[in-house]
Every structure is written in C-alpha cells, then in structure tokens.
C-alpha cells in the first residue's frame, strides 16, 4: 500500500471513530430516538391511509391514472419527511456541543480538521437516512397489504437514490450552518434556508412524476449530488477548531461589510476613466470561463427550444403571418412602442429579470440564475422551430423580430450570467485566508461592478433598440410576406 493510500485509510479510520462516538451517544438518548421512531412509523401509516382513500376516490370516477401517479409521489414524501425532522441532529452537531461545553475534549483530539468534520457529517447523515429507509419500507409494506401495489425496480431505485441525495444535501448544509453559528437557536433559524428549497424541490419532483417524465429525475439526482459535494467542500474549507472555540457571538458588522463592498466596487479608482480601465483589465478577465459557460448555456437553451418545437408543435393558425397593414407604425404607439414610456417599461422588466436571476443564483451556485436567463433564448428557439416546421422563413422572421435589440441584449445576458455564476460559486471557491462572509461580499462587489459598468448600459441600449428600432424592422420584414 502506498503512503498516500495509508494516509487516507488512517484519515477514514479517525473520521469513523468520531462518527461512531456520535452515533453511540445518539442511540442512548431516548428523547431523540423515541420521537424519531414514532414519527417515522406513524407518517407512513398516514400516507398509506391517504393513498388508499385516493385510490378509492379516483377509481370511483374512472381515473386510475391519477392514483398511479400519486402513489410514487407519496413514496418520495415519506422519504423526505424523516430527513426534515432528523435535521436537528446535524444542526446541533457543533453548535449544540459548544453550548453544552462538551466539544473541547473532541477538538483537542489528535485528528485533523477534515477528519473531525467528516466524522461529524457521517454521524449526522446516518440517522436521517435510516429513518427515511425505514419509513419507505413501512409505507411499501402497507401499500402491498392494502392495495397490492409495488413499484418497479427502476422507480424504487430512483426514489431511494433521490432520498439519499436529498439527505446528503440537507445534512451537508445543516452541518455547515452548525459549524459557523454559536448557538442552536441561530442554527435552527437558519435551517429555513434548507427546508424551504428542499420543499420546493419536492414540488418540482411531484410535477415530474405526475407527468410521468421519470427520466428527468436522473438529472435532478445528478444536480443534488453535485450540490452535496460542493457543500461538503465548503464545510471542510471553512471549519477551523480554533475559530470555533474563540467565537463568542455572531455579530453583524455593517461598517465592515460596507468597507469590503466599497473597496471591491471602486478598487482604488480615483476617476471614472480609471474605474473603467480597472473594470476591463481586472474584472472582465476573471469572467472568461463563466462567460464561456454562459455562452454554452444560451446555445443549449436555444437547442432545447428547437427540439421542444418538434414535440409540442403550435397550430398553424397561431403561426399565420400576414402582411403588415397600412398605419402599423401608428398602432404600435398605442402599445407603448416607439415611445419613452415603452423604453422605461422594457428597461425595468430587464432589470427585474437580472436582479431575480442574481438573487436565485446567489443561493443555488449560480444554476438557477443561468436557467432563468436561458428561458428567453429557449422560447425564441421554440418559436423558430415552429416557424420552420410551418414552412416559413424562420431566420428572416426571428432576425427581424429579435436581432436588432439582441445585438446588445445577448452580450448583457452573457456578462450578467457570468457575474451571477461567479457570485454563486463564491460559496465554493474561497481564497485562502478569507472568511465565507468576506468572500461573498467581494463577489457581490464584483457583480455590482460588472452590472453597473457594463450590464446596465447594455440593457439600456437594448431597451432603446427594442422600442424604437425593432418594431420598424419587424414591419419591414412582415411587409415582405
């Protein structure tokens, strides 16, 4: 065995010792073990009762397909429910021991920060998974006894893997929170940032199941595993036993945050010209890879839109294109086009979209923001595909209706998406010697720098082109039909 392999084996052994200690303490505490077992067994029974009533109801009205899609979703909920209330174990893994003053001997143990953190995370992951698997087993047994229903091997595999991945992500986030807070109360309050997104994910998965698009669940599973690995990396990078012992209370220092934001945004510039030179020489080069990813994402969105057009084709009457009538330019003004009021409306809509994408991307490693920016391009691809299927000149029509303002709007989307990706990944790629808060504040400063310096001016130009130029070009294009 090589030296590296021996070191990894010793590290895994040390982490397992920590996990075993935690699991032994958990199994001896009836105040934790008892409620978890009771709720884990009671909830599947309740879901069995719900499933039986649903099957009887829909069969009475001749809609067995509804029950067929509902039961797998309830199976997913049964797995999620124990994870949510077992999350308290992960939330108090570090904060709880700190309050009980029992963490000093553990921190003094001759093991590394990585081994200690991984041991705590494994110990916090085992109870939720065990409770989830127990709940799923009880639910399946009840379904088989009551209505004789059993899932296919593929569906059961997907449910178990999704449940495991959700537990991995939720526990990973909870342990990060516990290691960065000074009290269980603060950790429990911050847990809402875990429960709410997880519940929204369950809703998304329910929609996928009701549409019977089970292949989409594999993509969700992959995304969850990537998020779980990122959260584990964040936790290991941030964990420091000296800081854990020395931190007395979580303080919100707004003056310090303001100084970090100002120093990042202005970057020492003393004039607008110097600020813009720094923007192009320092900030933009950092966005090369995120910008390339954003370009690929937009191309992917357009391709997906075209492929969807072959599956969900619009009726021909919807795609009927007629010659532009006389006086069309005057009619456009009644809709706000060719007016300053229309420019303000388009500009405000674009800004709201960018701000929403930035907010969502900041808490989803940039993914949600990129997906939101991909949506308009996907819609354009969808209509382009439908126009081509209808035998129309799709490049000419899309070019006339989109290209004039797209010349400024697409670069703005690429730059905004790149800044959002960098902001979302600030949680993962932490510079050495900086805290999570400082790293994120600097990313916010760079996001604002790119947004104010480039994205907002490009959006203003795009809105002007969309209101004052695109309608006239569209009329010229439609006049040719």
Angle at 228 between CA 227 and CA 230, to 5 degrees: 65
Q: What is the pLDDT of residue 64?
A: 55
Calculate mean pLDDT across residues 433-441: 73
Rounded to an integer, what distance in angstroms lies between the CA atom of residue 229 and that of residue 187?
Answer: 21
Q: In which band, very low, low, confident or very high, does the pLDDT at 242 lie, cut at 50, 70 and 90?
A: low
Q: In which band, very low, low, confident or very high, does the pLDDT at 194 lie, cut at 50, 70 and 90?
A: confident
Counting Cα atoms < 13 Å in the Cβ hemisphere of 143 gives: 23
Asked if pLDDT for residue 374 goes beyond 50, the answer is yes
Rounded to an integer, what distance in angstroms lies between the CA atom of residue 275 and that of residue 264?
Answer: 11
Q: What are the structure tokens assigned to 158, written together?
A: 């997907």
Rounded to an integer, what distance in angstroms lies between the CA atom of residue 337 and that of residue 50?
Answer: 53
**111, burial (CB in 10 Å: exposed 0-12, middle 13-18, buried 19+):** buried
Rounded to an integer, what distance in angstroms lies between the CA atom of residue 332 and that of residue 472?
Answer: 9
Asked if pLDDT for residue 188 goes beyond 60, the answer is yes
Q: In which band, very low, low, confident or very high, does the pLDDT at 76 lie, cut at 50, 70 and 90?
A: confident
pTM of the predicted model over 0.85:
no
How is the chain split into domains, by residue range?
A: 3-246, 254-479
Asked if pLDDT for residue 370 goes beyond 50, the answer is yes
Q: What is the pLDDT of residue 477?
A: 77
Q: What are the structure tokens assigned to 195, written together?
A: 């429960």
Q: What is the pLDDT of residue 252?
A: 60
Q: In which band, very low, low, confident or very high, does the pLDDT at 187 lie, cut at 50, 70 and 90?
A: confident
Asked if pLDDT for residue 309 goes beyond 60, the answer is yes
Q: What is the pLDDT of residue 330?
A: 47
| pLDDT tens-digit series, residues 282-303 | 889 989 999 999 999 999 999 9
Asked if pLDDT for residue 463 goes beyond 60, the answer is yes
Average pLDDT score, the chain: 80
Residues of the chain above pLDDT 90, percent: 20
- 18-27, 139-148, 229-238, 417-426, range with greatest mean pLDDT: 417-426
Q: In which band, very low, low, confident or very high, does the pLDDT at 247 lie, cut at 50, 70 and 90?
A: low
Asked if pLDDT for residue 255 goes beyond 80, the answer is yes
Q: What is the pLDDT of residue 335?
A: 58
Q: Which of 125, 120, 128 is closest to 97 using CA atoms?
A: 120
Q: What is the pLDDT of residue 415?
A: 95
Q: Which of 44, 67, 64 is closest to 54 using CA atoms?
A: 67
Calculate mean pLDDT across residues 167-182: 85
3-state SS, 223-280, equals HHHHHHHHHHHHHHHHCCHHHHHHCCCCCCCHHHHHHHHHHHHHCCCCCHHHHHHHHH
> 184-191 long-range contacts, Cβ below 8 Å, gap at least 24?
184/91, 184/92, 184/95, 184/96, 184/99, 186/95, 186/250, 187/91, 187/92, 187/95, 188/88, 188/91, 191/87, 191/91
| pLDDT tens-digit series, residues 310-335 | 888 877 655 555 555 555 554 666 55
Asked if pLDDT for residue 63 goes beyond 60, the answer is no
């Amino acid at each position: 065995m090589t030296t590296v392999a021996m070191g990894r084996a010793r590290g895994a052994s040390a982490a397992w010792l920590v996990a075993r200690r935690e699991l032994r303490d958990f199994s001896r505490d009836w105040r934790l073990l008892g409620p978890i077992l009771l709720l884990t067994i009671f909830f599947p029974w309740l879901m069995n009762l719900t499933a039986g009533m649903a099957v009887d109801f829909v069969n009475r009205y001749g809609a067995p397909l509804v029950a067929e899609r509902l039961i797998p979703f309830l199976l997913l909920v049964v797995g999620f429910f124990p994870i949510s209330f077992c999350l308290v174990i992960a939330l108090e893994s570090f904060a709880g021991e700190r309050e009980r003053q029992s963490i000093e001997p553990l921190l003094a143990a001759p093991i590394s920060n990585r081994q200690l953190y991984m041991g705590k995370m494994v110990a916090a992951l085992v109870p939720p998974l065990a409770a989830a698997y127990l709940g799923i087993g009880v639910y399946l047994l009840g379904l088989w006894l009551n209505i004789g229903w059993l899932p296919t091997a593929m569906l059961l595999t997907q449910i178990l893997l999704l449940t495991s991945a959700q537990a991995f992500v939720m526990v990973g986030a909870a342990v990060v929170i516990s290691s960065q807070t000074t009290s269980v109360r603060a950790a429990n309050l911050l847990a809402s940032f875990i429960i709410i997104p997880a519940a929204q994910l369950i809703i998304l998965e329910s929609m996928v199941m009701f549409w019977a698009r089970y292949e989409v669940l594999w993509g969700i599973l992959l995304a969850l595993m990537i998020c779980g690995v990122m959260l584990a990396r964040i936790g290991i990078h941030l964990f420091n036993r000296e800081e854990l012992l020395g931190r007395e209370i979580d303080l919100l220092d707004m003056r310090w945050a303001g100084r970090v934001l100002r120093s990042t945004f202005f970057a020492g510039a003393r004039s607008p010209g110097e600020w813009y030179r720094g923007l192009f020489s320092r900030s933009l080069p950092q966005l090369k890879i995120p910008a390339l990813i954003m370009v690929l994402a937009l191309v992917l969105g357009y391709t997906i839109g075209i492929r969807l057009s072959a599956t969900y084709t619009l009726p021909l009457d919807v795609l009927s294109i007629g010659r532009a009538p006389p006086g069309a330019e005057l009619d456009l003004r009644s809709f706000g086009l060719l007016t300053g009021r229309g420019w303000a409306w388009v500009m405000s809509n674009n800004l709201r979209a960018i701000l929403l994408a930035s907010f969502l991307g900041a808490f989803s490693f940039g993914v949600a923001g990129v997906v939101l920016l991909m949506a308009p391009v996907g819609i354009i691809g969808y209509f382009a595909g439908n126009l081509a299927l209808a035998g129309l000149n799709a490049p000419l029509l899309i070019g006339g209706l989109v290209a004039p303002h797209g010349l400024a709007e697409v670069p703005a989307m690429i730059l905004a998406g790149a800044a959002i990706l960098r902001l979302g990944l600030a949680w993962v790629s932490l510079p050495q010697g900086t805290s999570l808060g400082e790293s994120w504040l600097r990313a916010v400063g760079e996001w604002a720098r790119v947004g104010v310096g480039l994205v907002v001016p490009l959006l203003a130009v795009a809105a002007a082109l969309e209101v004052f130029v695109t309608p006239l070009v569209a009329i010229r294009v439609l006049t040719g039909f």
